[in-house]
Structure 1
């Protein structure tokens, strides 16, 4: 069940003797750093100067509300859609510009510039997501800005920047937080910079008992998650002939969460929205994640920097959760357990619990050469990558008696439910040129990917994998061009526009082996002056073919899990708008921020599939609201701050179609509040309330039944810095 032996292929970028220090008679550039190479924007790049849609959540932005849920943080960025599931952000569902949100599979997720999904080519559904609460910065690119990053280039890129080594000789932080429903968080780091050796160690733990109650049970519905990070860096002396840095990063995390896919019927939701059926009392997700990363940067000359990273990600998970009750699948629209008890002569119901046991491996090597040719800033990049998902599952059978106790009646044999390996290998090359020509900046890019995606399936009758497995293989290569132009009308106003080819590879379960391909356009403007900024962008995505990947979270039948369906031609159009202003009242300031996204989606042909159901030309996509906005207003003095956030998500369909439906997700407005006070220069206390108005709302029906959103939750915290 292990991956085929990994043979790293270093794709060398051979630089001629012109790379010597005297190749260009220009002022020497500053020494580069490993940390800067992890970022998309770079330490000295203004977001306003980037082509296309680009947004950055700085450390100050993230600390404003101090969310541990990545989806609450990302709603401040236009064109991003999130779909709540567990209420704490453990299962991130993120989409961009009309792409599906399911497990963030249509978005390229990175940590420190490295692909972070467990198997981004072979199985992109991200049941692992980097712990957002420990991140220092989050970068989001959409459209033409994201063209350098793959393998999925239609929606966009999220790059999460982990804790960087402090610039001081010694620095650190300790913060603690406690709140309702047993919520608790401990976060601390310590590190410092030496003359040649620097390091940092960080620990992050958070947990909760959960806000749902299992019927007839005292078991919790919460989680515990631990995340430990360490980095060590060596750098040469500043006056070395070739300044270099080498950094080693190791990160380990684990999670134990009593989570379920089992939602409620509409009637039970209306009666008690925060209840959970007793059949889900044994549901549990257990995960472990190990990341190793070795990065090297070298200043080859005044004009050239070369950065290389070798990475290894190992992720294992077993989501032990109800799949059938009384022979009825969870996708039937909610299971009425009380009625099943009444109809059973013995009062006993059979419950199937599936061990969704999987191991993932993702590893590779990537290198980027930055070249400065005066008015041309050029990047040459290469990556060799391998990943796999090893699915080795079984089903245990239980009896749920009339007193709602569950007794194991039959232990399944591992490998008798799903028993296969999906794997991929890929070579990616890109070149990107930023050409400054007067008031014009032209960004032209070309990305090439050559990939092989395979499946070996032993079926349900060969758990020892003794026979020759059924084999599927998709081999393809693709060339992806992009072009973006910005024009500086004056010092404050920029016009931007661009076009790119979007792409996602076919999964092994795609019988037609069809790529997801689109042509994506954007046009808009940015204005920034003093304390005021505004951005408006129109986008249009014209799909030749859109993918839908069948997962349990999308309510697919057992026999179709892992299959991929083609929707054919699809159109997505929209407007992204963001503005901010800070009003100065002297000793008090009032920052204001508004984010708005309008989206129209349309299937352009009629078809049937197990993923989308019966679709007619003209139907809207599921789970893409036509309107969503977020408004944040704050007040800040010398030692205190308060902020109120109002988040509106418009009505959206849970299935493809047009207009009203009993299964639509109603519009909702959720309000969050936070206040903080500095009790000393290096100490702060904080009071937070999520969902101040205690709005009760349907978060999703993606699992075939109703899942409720997070209720009002208060917490207090303390932070100490040194």
Structure 2
């Protein structure tokens, strides 16, 4: 079902891919010929966002590292669960498996993770970070050994979204000696997770098969994730890391939420849309080359290519979609059970993306500090179609949308850290130039436009003692609009501006006693322009933009309590997340929302706290994840509307538990409970009511060899 004929697909349309890949190949070939007997031997070529914890003393921003031990101790089920352990990060559940996480940093709208830069091994994870930064795909948490979360001016080293922060998922480092692991997990809701890892000689293979029921009726997921990684030294000055991945998802899952009456009568797990299907295939390849110019300078060059194919056939896109007619929708509003097989319609949203690019990055250590600079050429080709079928299970029909969208982005950054006694000062700047075009293949209309941005910043750290770092940063943030927001179906260019903000933070990292670590930061994000995309703002809000202010405090701490007990806490207080002026509809200038209203999906309080106990071979943990009350639309509607798309979302606390027991050096058994008390709670009203995952009980074993 993923085949595309040459008349339907633009895979060979762009003239830029051969040029970029040829340049990348030439760069790697040239670098691999260099030899310098005086330099040290390279081992692993990679792009780091934070790196080791030793780097934190020079980092002028809030930073968190989630280690492999953290992941194992909590027996994390989804990336949503993991990222809630980081202060300043909120994540909204959707289908239950964390396959389409809705991630936000410091109060920004979390829908589809559009406001955050997602990386894997320092390279783009999103299939279209410039032209359509929506996460309809996200790898399983099982794929990663470590996660880095970075905020502040250092985000300008990456991009293009440089407002909230950067999340970098790191795959396991290839091992030199032969070995591996086998792991199996079973649970309720038909859950199975099988994993195998093999490695040796600098090569790693990881394969995960995961399947089970989602958060609602008529939702099931089948996932396959294969990753290959090979790292080796070419000579004393050159190292190369090669990666390849294949990901497949076959899901029975709907897009539509519930009406208020359906939720009250049938419960949050009700879902009548048994015919909806969601299929993904993603292929990724990349290479990262380290070239040591001398003992102090390294040129790291990455090339990458991703292919993403998504077909989503569904009978409704929200709780009052017109697809099945007025009588069908009225029955839903009245809380009456509906027969989806009586609705002779099924619409396919078919998406195909190619993303590729090259990025050299230079790092030079010098007597006064460290210099960094880099450039990137990045290209995205989108093939988007919609087919309307005339039966409940249709997989063909009338093509009502068929357009091509292309993005060519060029960026550069430069920074220099000056170390002056106990102080470090890091000025930094980034430049983005983005060309986009859109072609409607149904009528031949087309349009093109260009945007650019220069974003400076500066960061400062002060280390008065080996265990205390005071940090602060100030930078201009930037995020590009989507292609479809810039250029309409008829090819007309829309007057929508890029997102721009001024971001400030000041904080402290310290060690308390011998075992406790603490990080706390005050942050302020002042938007001169924030884009509110209609499909993510709640209740069908039109594409709008305006000024907004986010301001708050984040704290995290962890350490030992004594007698085998351990504690961990991540807390965010967001007192301000307001429209500082009423947003305006981009198309007609009409006011949207009210000045002073709170932004949707921006809870004032979020807290994740855990109490652990470790004694001998036993390690247990009890964790509470709390999300405060939040609004679901710009009008700050409190009472729920009949369609379920507006209304206040109550605060909720979800409890998780894990238990690990190491039988011997090679064998570990574990069990976990997610949503321990089986609480039904609303997570989202964007397309109608969506609820969190019911209680999950899982038991498994891991064997290392």
- For normalisation by structure 1, the TM-score amounts to 0.87
What is the aligned counterpart of 1:232 among 205, 230, 233?
Answer: 230
Aligned counterparts of 2:333 and 2:106: Cα–Cα separation in 1: 42
Q: Is the 8 A contact 1:262 1:330 kept in 2?
A: no
Aligned counterparts of 1:125 and 1:376: Cα–Cα separation in 2: 37
- Structure 2 residue 178 is matched with structure 1 residue 170: yes
Residue 104 of structure 1 is matched in structure 2 by 113
What is the aligned counterpart of 2:280 among 279, 287, 293?
Answer: 287
Aligned counterparts of 1:609 and 1:178: Cα–Cα separation in 2: 49
- Structure 2 residue 647 is matched with structure 1 residue 657: no
Q: Is the 8 A contact 1:381 1:430 kept in 2?
A: yes
Q: CA deviation at 1:29?
A: 7.2
Q: Is the 8 A contact 2:529 2:548 kept in 1?
A: yes
What is the aligned counterpart of 1:630 among 602, 608, 613?
Answer: 608
Aligned to 1:506, what secondary structure does the other structure show?
A: coil
Residue 601 of structure 1 is matched in structure 2 by 577
Q: Is the 8 A contact 2:91 2:104 kept in 1?
A: yes
Residue 182 of structure 1 is matched in structure 2 by 190
Residue 699 of structure 2 is matched in structure 1 by 716
Q: CA deviation at 1:474?
A: 2.3
What is the aligned counterpart of 2:50 among 41, 46, 52?
Answer: 41
Residue 673 of structure 1 is matched in structure 2 by 657
Instruction: Provide, for residues 469-514 of structure 1, a one-character-per-residue CA deviation record: whole Å limited to 9, x for no partner.
Output: 3222221222111101011122222211110000011333231141
Instruction: Provide, for residues 162-189 of structure 1, a one-character-per-residue CA deviation record: whole Å limited to 9, x for no partner.
Output: 12201x4112111110101011101111
What is the aligned counterpart of 1:541 among 519, 522, 525?
Answer: 525
Matches within 5 A, 1:219-618: 220-237=218-235, 240=236, 243-278=237-272, 280-323=273-316, 328=322, 335=329, 337=331, 349-398=342-391, 406=392, 411-413=396-398, 416-458=399-441, 462=442, 469-508=444-483, 509-510=485-486, 511-529=494-512, 530-551=514-535, 556=540, 565-585=543-563, 589-599=564-574, 600-609=576-585, 614-618=592-596
Instruction: Provide, for residues 620-665 of structure 1, a one-character-per-residue CA deviation record: whole Å limited to 9, x for no partner.
Output: 1111101111111100012110001101100000111348443111
Aligned counterparts of 2:537 and 2:353: Cα–Cα separation in 1: 18
Aligned counterparts of 1:140 and 1:282: Cα–Cα separation in 2: 38
Aligned counterparts of 2:379 and 2:321: Cα–Cα separation in 1: 39
Instruction: Provide, for residues 561-595 of structure 1, a one-character-per-residue CA deviation record: whole Å limited to 9, x for no partner.
Output: xxxx342111111111111121232xxx2110111
Residue 4 of structure 2 is matched in structure 1 by none
Residue 621 of structure 1 is matched in structure 2 by 599
- Structure 2 residue 8 is matched with structure 1 residue 8: no
Residue 403 of structure 1 is matched in structure 2 by none
Aligned to 1:489, what secondary structure does the other structure show?
A: strand
Residue 643 of structure 1 is matched in structure 2 by 621
Structure 1 residues 433 and 566, CA gap change in structure 2 (3 angstroms): farther
Query: Unpaired runs of 5+ in structure 2?
Result: 1-8, 487-493, 641-646
Q: Is the 8 A contact 1:636 1:642 kept in 2?
A: yes
Aligned to 1:33, what secondary structure does the other structure show?
A: coil
Q: CA deviation at 1:392?
A: 1.2
Aligned counterparts of 1:500 and 1:618: Cα–Cα separation in 2: 25
Aligned counterparts of 2:333 and 2:472: Cα–Cα separation in 1: 58
Q: Is the 8 A contact 1:154 1:503 kept in 2?
A: yes
Q: Is the 8 A contact 1:138 1:159 kept in 2?
A: yes
Q: Which one is further off, 121-130 or 665-674? A: 121-130
Q: Is the 8 A contact 1:116 1:130 kept in 2?
A: no
Q: CA deviation at 1:330?
A: 9.3
Aligned counterparts of 2:393 and 2:522: Cα–Cα separation in 1: 57
Q: Is the 8 A contact 1:592 1:632 kept in 2?
A: yes
Q: Is the 8 A contact 2:373 2:415 kept in 1?
A: yes
Aligned counterparts of 2:260 and 2:636: Cα–Cα separation in 1: 21
Structure 1 residues 339 and 626, CA gap change in structure 2 (3 angstroms): closer
Residue 211 of structure 2 is matched in structure 1 by 207
Aligned counterparts of 2:193 and 2:42: Cα–Cα separation in 1: 35
Aligned to 1:501, what secondary structure does the other structure show?
A: strand
Structure 1 residues 331 and 445, CA gap change in structure 2 (3 angstroms): farther
Q: CA RMSD in A?
A: 3.0
Q: CA deviation at 1:145?
A: 2.6
Matches within 5 A, 1:105-144: 105-144=114-153
Structure 1 residues 553 and 100, CA gap change in structure 2 (3 angstroms): closer
Q: Is the 8 A contact 1:244 1:297 kept in 2?
A: yes
Residue 401 of structure 1 is matched in structure 2 by none
Q: CA deviation at 1:127?
A: 0.8
Residue 491 of structure 2 is matched in structure 1 by none
Structure 1 residues 598 and 29, CA gap change in structure 2 (3 angstroms): farther
Instruction: Provide, for residues 270-323 of structure 1, a one-character-per-residue CA deviation record: whole Å limited to 9, x for no partner.
Output: 233244343x11111000000011221121211111111110000000111123
Query: Unpaired runs of 5+ in structure 1?
Result: 23-27, 214-219, 399-405
Aligned counterparts of 1:526 and 1:90: Cα–Cα separation in 2: 33
Instruction: Provide, for residues 414-444 of structure 1, a one-character-per-residue CA deviation record: whole Å limited to 9, x for no partner.
Output: xx22211221111111112122110101122
Q: CA deviation at 1:411?
A: 4.9
What is the aligned counterpart of 1:55 among 45, 59, 64?
Answer: 64
Aligned counterparts of 1:331 and 1:650: Cα–Cα separation in 2: 36
Q: CA deviation at 1:609?
A: 3.8
Aligned counterparts of 2:74 and 2:346: Cα–Cα separation in 1: 38
Residue 677 of structure 2 is matched in structure 1 by 693
Aligned to 2:253, what secondary structure does the other structure show?
A: coil
Structure 1 residues 327 and 646, CA gap change in structure 2 (3 angstroms): closer
Instruction: Provide, for residues 187-221 of structure 1, a one-character-per-residue CA deviation record: whole Å limited to 9, x for no partner.
Output: 1111113xxxx2111101111033433xxxxxx41
Q: CA deviation at 1:255?
A: 0.1
Structure 1 residues 223 and 373, CA gap change in structure 2 (3 angstroms): same
Q: CA deviation at 1:351?
A: 4.8
Aligned counterparts of 1:343 and 1:174: Cα–Cα separation in 2: 45
How many aligned positions are there? 668
